[in-house]
Structure 1
Amino acid sequence: MSEQTEVAPEGDPKKGKRGFLGSIVVDARPLRIPGFRRLWLSSIVTAVGSQLTAVAVPKQVFDITGSSAYVGLTGAFGLVPLLVFGLWGGAIADTVDRRKLLMISNTGIAFTAALLWAQAFFAVDSVWLVLVLLAVNQAFFAVNMPTRNAVVARLVPQELLPAAAALTGTMTTFGAVFGPLAAGALIPVIGLSTLYLVDTIALVAVLWAVWKLPTMAPLSGQVRKAGLRDVVDGFRYMATQKVLLASFFVDIIAMVAGMPRALFPEMAERTFGDPAGGGLALGWLFAAMPLGAMLIGLMSGWAGRVRRQGVAVTVAICVWGAAVIGFGLSSTLWLAIVFLAIGGAADMVSAIYRMAILQTAATDEMRGRTQGAFTVVVAGGPRLADLGHGWAAAGAGTAAAASGGGVLVIVLVLIAVVLLPAFWRYKAPVVKS
């Protein structure tokens, strides 16, 4: 029996008039489903904590080395585990109890966060130790994310998947806004190591919420080990799904060519005047894109009414590229923040529909593997961007690295749409009530 049978006693989440205001603000109906509500609430605790570490790692690397090129290496050390364990983790998620796998992977993430705190607290000052711990942390993350995303479609009806994606994205971006702002303000006061400690405590706390989820064994009832053949079968399946492949491809373009976050530590100090120990400019640069994404998420009640989802993703990515160009050319902090916020809003629109396309098009027995590929693209793309932008900035400067990437996004995504017209024409299927 599917976990969709564990709907809330409040009634059918699919029914009920939402009114004018409900058609504008985020659709909260998925929260009536107990399993999804537990999964969503578990993200509240970690939303801020995880972003503290996301700021602390590049900041610590920059403090040790003084080089954006080394900051870019964080992308390489994060990417390899994502490529390997994202695909394998997705295969595992299709063959075991997904709740159990969430528990194991969350424990691993918490343990490596504790080790990051220890090396910073004892002032080891080894950039290679930081990078290795980051790689291990990302290996567990790569297993956790496709599992968590695959769980959603087992809990939420198909017509509410865009709303569920918007709710999840809104909470994630909430943490991504206030986490970096808190990090920028707290580093000079409590020190960088404490940021890792807060993340560790949050990750331990979330294990209870995951434990309360229902069991989610494969619908076939067969629990087994996942091997290389399962990964290969996943690739074969995705090779037949042109719309899925196109959604991955356009997001790779947007993230690899356009994500400028590796430039933030250098620009915070040398362009926008932060002190060497860190300051508010660094926090605002990391928070600006999530802020724009969060605002769109909170006003996403319209998302379920858009059927031309391929068009929506394409337009959103072009807006993202234009915003990155504006950011690269900005000489004042407030203008840079505005452009990054616009970019974050566009990326949120793209993410809502890409996730809805993926959840709708994939069958449950392949959903973990497709989510694994999605994790590789979503989380791996920015890490490739870290590497590329870091080295580009070292050679040509931060302005050229950022704005040039934005131009490349627009050019490449328009070429992709011409070559992949099925994606442009894609419409969400009509669900009969």
Structure 2
Amino acid sequence: MDTSESSDAPETNAEAKAEAGSAPRPRDEARRGWRRWAMDTRPLRRPAYRRLWSSTIVTAVGSQLTAVAVPKQIYDITGSSAWVGYAGLAGLLPMVVFALWGGAVADTMDRRRLLLITNTGIAVTSVLFWVQAAAGLDSVAVLMVLLATQQAFFGLNAPARTASIARLVPAGELAAANALGSTVMQTGLVAGPLLAGALIPVIGLPELYLLDALALCVTLWAVARLPALPPLDGSAARRAGLSEILAGFRYIARHKVLLLSFVADVIAMVLGMPRALFPQLAAETYAPYGEGLALGLLFAAIPIGAVLGGLFSGTFSRARRHGWMVIGAVVAWGAAIAGFGLSGSLWLAVVFLAAAGVADMVSMVFRGAILLSAATDEMRGRMQGVFTVVVAGGPRLADVLHGTAGAAYGPRAAVTGGGLLVVAVMLALAAAVPALRRYRV
């Protein structure tokens, strides 16, 4: 571990052991046969974490029902894709603001209580989505307000949810816990839209919102059964204001490994996420395969690769050199994206994108583990708030960058160049700043 971070490790391990409920098994516990390659399920032995993870299985799919239903309803009302884009912006801004504030709140109050409040708010907005659709209001303004409100609750919820994991499992199982959670979320990104597409002609849009609300009831039940998660340092007396948010940014600036974990994600997503060019590539480069088929495969390939990476995360989740795992994953992502840009065959392109999805899963697992293990408990909420903003904002910046570059140089050149830039910038950063290379749990 980098010497600048080593003072945090004893506290982190003590917290995890105190909250996990039972003593962790030896880290090098033997795994035989295919199990050594399969997903590491040790965190599921912890009852509290198992409840939190189980609720994610349901809500990962349920949330995607609403994610499909809202743009579909807006397009049905307006007949304009521009309004669908405006809706995305309406949801992004409150999510960013409330994620930063929510991280500070998560560090100053019982995280279980905050999860109950925010999940209730998300469930209520899902019910209101159902009410407006069932009543046939056909109001874009109402949809925008509801979407902004729901994303604000999500911004408050996400930092507390992720920061709680370090209190529910030991430090040695954080990577495995992140792999379990990320796999479920990626599976939801694949299964949710497919299920929504199948259900809309059968039951209609209003019922999709209602199904999401019912799924959130499972989450509320699971969160209610978690142990209390109050601040460990007595910080409940503090107010979660601007000064607390700024303190979080100062903390990141002082701890290089945390800063570098964010920078690594920005490098990968901003320079190397080519989804804005998928429609043009499907219409031009891969048109002989069928534009609709090509577009669907391009959008599905990265999440499918991420799911496969999660299912076989036993191959990497026990690694202790978390910094090197992040560096290697980002470089692999960039190389796979460059290979995608050079591919004239749709099937080869899908293979490269799936490989990029595997690399993205590895990066997510270890960046998340670094944020939970290298930060002290009183800062974890704010770290997760910034993480939420980076994860949400990076791909949107990439859409602008790749769209502009694709128009200027052509889509394949833009994709290939972006992938090569990821490799070059990440290797240069790793060489110039050793903190990430040295970090180990």
Question: TM-score scaled to structure 1, two decimals?
Answer: 0.84
> How big is the shift at 1:42?
0.7
- What's the counterpart of residue 242 of structure 2? 228
**1:93–1:368: 8 Å Cα contact kept in structure 2?**
yes
Are residues 222 and 427 of structure 1, via their aligned partners in 2, closer, same or farther at CA, if it must alter by over 3 Å?
closer
Are residues 180 and 270 of structure 1, via their aligned partners in 2, closer, same or farther at CA, if it must alter by over 3 Å?
farther
- What's the counterpart of residue 3 of structure 2? none
Which structure 2 residues correspond to residues 78-93 of structure 1 after superposition, within 5 A? 78-93=91-106
Which of 281, 297, 321 is equivalent to 2:334?
321
Matched, 1:163 2:176: yes
**1:25–1:299: 8 Å Cα contact kept in structure 2?**
yes
Which of 408, 415, 428 is equivalent to 2:440?
428
> How big is the shift at 1:269?
7.8
Deviations 1:27-70 (A, max 9, x none): 11111111101110110111112223334445556664554x66
- What's the counterpart of residue 59 of structure 2? 46
- What's the counterpart of residue 210 of structure 1? 223
User: Which amino acid is 1:17 matched to?
Assistant: A
Q: Within 2, Cα distance between the matches of 1:36 and 1:357?
A: 18
Are residues 326 and 81 of structure 1, via their aligned partners in 2, closer, same or farther at CA, if it must alter by over 3 Å?
farther
Which of 16, 32, 35 is equivalent to 1:19?
32
Are residues 247 and 394 of structure 1, via their aligned partners in 2, closer, same or farther at CA, if it must alter by over 3 Å?
same
Which of 308, 316, 323 is equivalent to 1:310?
323
Bigger shift: 252-261 or 209-218? 252-261
Which of 153, 156, 174 is equivalent to 1:140?
153
- What's the counterpart of residue 241 of structure 1? 255
The SS at the match of 1:306 is coil
**1:75–1:385: 8 Å Cα contact kept in structure 2?**
no
Which structure 2 residues correspond to residues 257-268 of structure 1 after superposition, within 5 A? 257-262=271-276
Q: Within 2, Cα distance between the matches of 1:81 and 1:402?
A: 30
Bigger shift: 209-218 or 286-295? 286-295
- What's the counterpart of residue 384 of structure 2? 371
Are residues 264 and 48 of structure 1, via their aligned partners in 2, closer, same or farther at CA, if it must alter by over 3 Å?
farther
> How big is the shift at 1:324?
3.3
The percentage of counterpart residues that share the same residue type is 56
Q: Within 2, Cα distance between the matches of 1:329 and 1:56?
A: 35
Q: For structure 2, which runs of at least 5 residues remain unmatched after alignment?
A: 1-13
**1:181–1:284: 8 Å Cα contact kept in structure 2?**
no
RMSD: 3.4
How many residue pairs are counted as aligned between the two chains?
A: 422
Deviations 1:362-394 (A, max 9, x none): 011111111111111122322333455566667
Q: Within 2, Cα distance between the matches of 1:159 and 1:138?
A: 32
Q: For structure 1, which runs of at least 5 residues remain unmatched after alignment?
A: none
Deviations 1:343-374 (A, max 9, x none): 21110011111111111110111111111111
> How big is the shift at 1:228?
1.6
> How big is the shift at 1:253?
1.9
**1:314–1:413: 8 Å Cα contact kept in structure 2?**
yes
Matched, 1:174 2:187: yes
**1:184–1:279: 8 Å Cα contact kept in structure 2?**
no
Q: Within 2, Cα distance between the matches of 1:279 and 1:57?
A: 22
Are residues 283 and 35 of structure 1, via their aligned partners in 2, closer, same or farther at CA, if it must alter by over 3 Å?
farther
Question: TM-score scaled to structure 2, two decimals?
Answer: 0.82
Matched, 1:124 2:138: yes
> How big is the shift at 1:105?
1.2
Q: Within 2, Cα distance between the matches of 1:326 and 1:407?
A: 9
> How big is the shift at 1:124?
2.0
Bigger shift: 99-108 or 308-317? 308-317
Deviations 1:186-229 (A, max 9, x none): 44555555443432321233211111111111113452331222
Are residues 254 and 125 of structure 1, via their aligned partners in 2, closer, same or farther at CA, if it must alter by over 3 Å?
farther
Bigger shift: 177-186 or 161-170? 177-186
Q: Within 2, Cα distance between the matches of 1:134 and 1:283?
A: 26
> How big is the shift at 1:334?
4.3
User: Which amino acid is 2:240 matched to?
Assistant: A
The SS at the match of 1:17 is coil
Bigger shift: 264-273 or 326-335? 264-273
Bigger shift: 30-39 or 224-233? 224-233
User: Which amino acid is 2:231 matched to?
Assistant: P
Matched, 1:253 2:267: yes
Which structure 2 residues correspond to residues 267-306 of structure 1 after superposition, within 5 A? 284-306=297-319
> How big is the shift at 1:258?
2.7
Are residues 354 and 130 of structure 1, via their aligned partners in 2, closer, same or farther at CA, if it must alter by over 3 Å?
same
Q: Within 1, Cα distance between the matches of 2:363 and 2:45?
A: 25
**2:20–2:170: 8 Å Cα contact kept in structure 1?**
no
The SS at the match of 2:156 is helix
